[in-house]
Structure 1
Amino acid sequence: MTSVPARSELSRLVAPDAFWWATGIEDTFITEPWPSTGRILDEYELTGHYERWREDLDLVASLGVKTVRYGVPWHRIEPERGRWDWRFCDEALGRLLDLGVDPIVDLVHYGLPRWLDGAYLDPAYPERVSEYAARLAERFQGRILWYTPLNEPRITAWYCGRLGWWPPFRRGWPGFIAVMIALAKGIVRTCQALQAVDPQIVPVHVDATDLYETQDPALADEVELRQEIVFLALDLVSGRVGREHRLRAWLLENGARESDLDWFEENAIDLPFIGMNLYPMFTHKRLRREAGGRLRIRQPYASGDLVARLGRLYHARYGAPLFVSETASLGSVAKRQRWMDDSLASVRVLRSEGVPLVGYTWWPMFDMVAWAYRQGSREPAEYFIRMGLWDLDPVTLERTATPLADSYRSYVKGGISAVGPLSAIADASGERLHVS
C-alpha cells in the first residue's frame, strides 16, 4: 500500500503541516496526422520517453518528490477497440510505485485512440473512456488512488471544437460547447467508474486557469463571459450550471440542450481536489478592441502574485483544496528560477491567508515539443521549449541537468518550511474552519 491519501483522509491534506511536491513529463498525445504533414504529436515519442522511461522516472525520484503527475497513452494501451496492451503502463507505473513516488495518473491528455469515430463526439465516448479508466484502476487497485480523468477540458474543447485543429475538427462556439459537453460527460462517467472499482480513489480535476482583464469598460461583459468559460468544465461536472448560471442562456443559444444541462445536475460529482495549470507567459489575458473593431487578446508576462490571485478566485468559487498542478516559465535558467521563487512566495501568501493550497508541481520536468510541430516541417529539436529542470540535447535527447534541478530539490527537501503552514482555513463564505 502506498502513501496516497484515501478519500476518507482528505482532511489530512489540509492540515497545517500538509504539502506535497510534484513534477511531471509533458504527455500530449494527438494521434490524428495533420493533413499536409502527416505528423502526429506524441510527446513521449518526440522526447524519447518511451525508450528512456526508466532513466526519466529515476530523475523524478532524484528530486525527492513523493508525487508525480504522469500520463498513460490510451492510444497504445488500446490500439484497437477491445485489444489491450498494458506493458508500458504496468512497467512505468509499477516502477514509480517501487521508487516510492505516488502517481496522479493522467488518463486522457488531449488525444484519443483513432478508432473512436468522431473522437469526443463519438456517442460511445463516455462509456469507452470510463471502461478504460476502470480497467486501469482494477490493475492497480489499492496501489494507485489518484487519477485525473481528463487534463485541461477547456483547452481540449478549444482545440478540438473551437479552432478545429484536433479531432473532431469542429469550429466556433457551437463546436466548443458540443465537445465540452461530451468530454464533461466522460469525466463524470470516469469518476463513477473509478469509484465503483475502489471508493477510496480520489479524482483530481485539472484545468488550465486564465485570468481575464480589460481597461476598456465596453469589454466588461466579454471579460465576464471569458472568465466564466474558464470555470465551465468544473461547473458542469459538479452540477452548478442551473437555471441561474451566468452561461446557461449562452450555452443554449450555441447548441446545448436543456436535457444535457439537466443531466449534469442529476449526475453531479464532487470536486475533492482542483489542480490549477498556470504559466506566467500564457495565463494572464488582457482584452482590447482595435480601431477596426477586432477583439485582441494580449498575454503579458505575469508576476508571481498570479498564483495568489487565481487561488483566491478558485477557493471563493469552489471551497475545495487546490494545488498548482502545472507551472513553469519559458526562457533562460535565470528566468525559470525567478518564476520558481516568485510563484512559491505566492503559495506561501495564499497558505498564510488560509486558502488550502496543498501542492506544487513543476511541469514539465524537461523540455517539451511545441504543438506547432504537428503542423510544421522542421526537425523536432527546432520545436523544443525550454521550461524544465533538465534540458534535452537537440541531437541525442540526453537529459542535462540545469541548476534548477538542485534548486527544486532544495525546495522539496525543505518541505513545509518553503511554503509555510496553512492557517485556519476560510471556507467560500468567509467562515474560518479549523482543522486538526
Structure 2
Amino acid sequence: MTRLFRSFFQGGFECSTHRRADGVRLDLIASSGHDDLVLDDYLQLSSRGIFTVRDGVRWHLIERSPGEYDWSSFVPMLRAAHAAGVQVIWDLCHYGYPDHVDIWSEDFVDAFGSFAREAAIVALQENDPAPLFCPINEISYWAWAGAQTGRINPVTFERGAELKRQLVRASIAAIRAIRSVAPDARFIVAEPLINVVSGSCEQEHVDRAEEYRQSQFEVHDMLTGERDPQLGGRPEFLDIVGVNFYPDNQWYLGGSTIPLGHHAYRPLHEMLHEVYRRYRRPLLISETGAEGRVKHYWLSQICEEVRLAIDDGLPVQGICLYPIVDYHGWDNHRICQVGLLSLPDEAGTRRSCELLDRELRRQQLAISRTRTSDLFIEEQRA
C-alpha cells in the first residue's frame, strides 16, 4: 500500500466561505484566527504528531475580478506549511465562490478550472511538487443546502440535482486543469457518508429511504462516468475517496437522528466496506468530530471502527479531526467547541482540549499497532 499522507491522524481547519441566505459572507479561516495564526497552528499540530491537514484556498479573496488573481491570502499559508513540515490537502472551493461568477453558467465551470490551474502553479512555485487537492467539498451537501433548501448560496429551491451536476462538471474541469501543470497531484472527493432508515413497514417508505441512502454515491458515480456520462466523468477522476462522518449522519427518513448504539445504527466499518466494494480506491475519513465533552469519546469510537476496517484489509489511509479548531457557528456566531484547539484569546493564544488531546495520543499509539501502520513503516524503510 502506498502511503499518501505524512500522518495517519490529520487536522482540518473549517474554511467555509459561502454566503448565507441573508447575503452575509462567511470566512471561517478569518473568524477563527487561522489566517493570522497559520504558522503557529501548523506547529501546534506537528508537535502532536499531526503532519497532514486540510485547509482552504479562499477563491472569493483571490479572484475579486474576472481572471485577475491576488495570491496574498494563499502564499503565506503555503510558506507556513513548508516551514512547519506540514502536508496540506487544499480545498479549492468550500461552498464559496466570487460574487462575479454565475454558478449556473458554463462560465462557472471554466472560471473554476482556470482558478484551480493557477492555484496549482502557485503551489508548485512554493516547493510543493505533488500537491493534494479537494476540488469542491461536499458536493452533495452543497446541492441540498444551496439549491434544494435555499440555506446557503446560490439560495435556490428544488434545483439540487441540477447544482450537483454543475459542481461535478466544475470538479472535472479543475482536475483536468491541475493535471495539465501538476501531473503528480492527487485528489480527494469528500462526501458525506450517511445511513437513512425507513422506520416503517410500508414498502414504499422503505424504498424511498433506500433511494435517499443510495444518493450518497451519485457524485462518485458521476465522476467515474458510471452515471450521467455526458458530464465527462471517467474512472481516473475518482482518486482518493474521502468520507465525512459525524454523529448526525444516520437518521430515519423524515424523522430523528439515530443515536450511536441504537439497533438501527449502522457500524462505520460496515459502511466503509460498502464504499470500498463499490470503488476500490484508497479511503480517508476526511472529516469527523463531535461537540463538547463527548468529542474525545466520539474519536475513540471512530478509531475503534477504523481499526476494524483496517484489520479487514481496507486501505483506510487516515482520520481527519474536523474542525481541529473551535469556530463560530454559521448562523448564530456561537462558539462551537469542537476542536483540539480553542479560538484565540486576546493575546492570540489557543488552549488545547485536554480530554481530546489525551485521547488523540492514546489513539495514535493504538493505530501504530495496526496492519496499515506496519506497511507504512516498511515503505519508509525501503
Look up the SS of the partner of 1:217 in the other structure: coil
Residues in 2 aligned to 1:82 and 1:137: alpha-carbon distance in whole angstroms: 15
Deviation at 1:27, TM superposition (A): 0.6
Which deviations, in whole Å up to 9, do the C-alpha atoms of 1:335-394 show, x marking residues without a partner? Answer: 111111111011110011111111111111111222223xxxxxx3xx111111123368
Which deviations, in whole Å up to 9, do the C-alpha atoms of 1:311-333 show, x marking residues without a partner? Answer: 1121121111101111111221x
Q: Using a 3 Å threshold, how does the CA distance of structure 1 residues 266 and 52 change in structure 2: closer, same or farther?
A: closer
Determine the structure 1 residue equivalent to 2:339.
388
Counterpart of 2:230, as a letter, is: W
Contact 1:34 1:40 in 2 (8 A): no
Q: Using a 3 Å threshold, how does the CA distance of structure 1 residues 315 and 48 change in structure 2: closer, same or farther?
A: same
Residues in 1 aligned to 2:44 and 2:78: alpha-carbon distance in whole angstroms: 15
Deviation at 1:422, TM superposition (A): 7.4
Deviation at 1:407, TM superposition (A): 3.2
Q: Unaligned stretches of 5+ in structure 2?
A: 376-381
Deviation at 1:159, TM superposition (A): 1.2
- Structure 1 length-normalised TM: 0.78
Residues in 2 aligned to 1:33 and 1:285: alpha-carbon distance in whole angstroms: 25
Which of these residues, 82, 87, 108, is aligned with residue 125 of structure 1?
108
Residues in 2 aligned to 1:200 and 1:368: alpha-carbon distance in whole angstroms: 33
Contact 2:222 2:231 in 1 (8 A): yes
Deviation at 1:166, TM superposition (A): 2.0
Determine the structure 2 residue equivalent to 1:155.
141
Determine the structure 1 residue equivalent to 2:184.
200
Residues in 2 aligned to 1:212 and 1:419: alpha-carbon distance in whole angstroms: 31
RMSD, matched Cα: 2.5
Which of these residues, 103, 116, 127, is aligned with residue 88 of structure 2?
103
Residues 1:76 and 2:78 are matched in the alignment: no
- Decide which moves more: 152-161 or 46-55: 46-55
Aligned length: 367
Contact 2:300 2:363 in 1 (8 A): no
Deviation at 1:160, TM superposition (A): 1.2
Deviation at 1:34, TM superposition (A): 4.3
Residues 1:297 and 2:252 are matched in the alignment: no
Deviation at 1:162, TM superposition (A): 0.3
Residues 1:284 and 2:253 are matched in the alignment: no
Look up the SS of the partner of 1:361 in the other structure: strand
Which deviations, in whole Å up to 9, do the C-alpha atoms of 1:155-178 show, x marking residues without a partner? Answer: 111111101122222212xx0011
- Decide which moves more: 97-106 or 393-402: 393-402
Determine the structure 2 residue equivalent to 1:427.
none
Deviation at 1:79, TM superposition (A): 1.6
Residues 1:56 and 2:41 are matched in the alignment: yes
Look up the SS of the partner of 1:236 in the other structure: helix
Residues in 2 aligned to 1:302 and 1:77: alpha-carbon distance in whole angstroms: 41
Determine the structure 2 residue equivalent to 1:348.
307
Determine the structure 2 residue equivalent to 1:186.
170
Deviation at 1:419, TM superposition (A): 4.3
Identity %: 22
- Structure 2 length-normalised TM: 0.89
Which of these residues, 14, 21, 27, is aligned with residue 9 of structure 2?
21
Which of these residues, 112, 134, 139, is aligned with residue 97 of structure 2?
112
Contact 1:137 1:144 in 2 (8 A): no
